[in-house]
């Protein structure tokens, strides 16, 4: 159940991405940095919720990667003010990495190969 909810959250983030990009191309008053800022904040919230849901099910490498994505999204908000010329390309690169990883984990989960290993206890 939790894994389906996680997949639904990733689908929601992709639909939000497509919807906001459509808004950018339709609305003449919206700028791309503003649209990407809204998307970054929404993705931070979605990724935190997703991480809370599956952190006990998925392996530690997944948790570490998702924490890195959340940190990268937060850093992008600072890059927007410091280096505005790099903001759009870095944001799109991070979004692409996040979406490709989401599709990778969803397909690997369906095959049954993406589970947390049980801890081995030391016997004295």
- Say if residue 74's pLDDT is above 90: yes
The mean pLDDT value of the chain amounts to 83
Q: Provide the pLDDT for residue 51.
A: 87
Could you tell me the residue ranges of all domains in the chain?
2-110
pLDDT (mean) for 72-95: 91
Greatest alpha-carbon pair distance for the chain in Å reads 70
- Name the more confident of 88 and 54: 88
pLDDT at 113: 64
pLDDT of residue 67: 92
3-state helix, strand, coil in the chain (%, to 5): 80, 0, 20
Q: Is the pLDDT of residue 119 over 80?
A: no
- For 16-70, write each residue's pLDDT tens digit: 888 888 888 887 788 888 888 989 999 999 889 888 888 777 778 888 888 999 9
For position 6, what pLDDT does the model report? 72
How many angstroms separate the Cα of 15 from the Cα of each of 22, 52, 103, 122?
10, 21, 14, 46
pTM equals 0.80
The CA distance from 36 to 114, in Å, is 31
Structure tokens at 109: 């989960």
């Amino acid at each position: 159940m939790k894994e389906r909810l996680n997949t639904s959250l990733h689908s929601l983030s992709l639909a939000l991405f497509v919807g906001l990009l459509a808004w950018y191309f339709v609305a003449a008053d919206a700028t791309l940095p503003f649209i990407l800022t809204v998307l970054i904040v929404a993705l931070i919230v979605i990724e935190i919720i997703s991480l809370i849901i599956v952190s006990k099910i998925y392996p530690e490498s997944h948790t570490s990667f998702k924490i890195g994505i959340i940190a990268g999204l937060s850093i992008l908000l600072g890059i927007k003010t410091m280096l505005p010329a790099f903001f759009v390309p870095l944001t799109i690169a991070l979004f692409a990495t996040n979406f490709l990883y989401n599709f990778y984990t969803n397909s690997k989960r369906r095959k049954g190969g993406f589970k947390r290993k049980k801890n081995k206890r030391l016997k004295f």
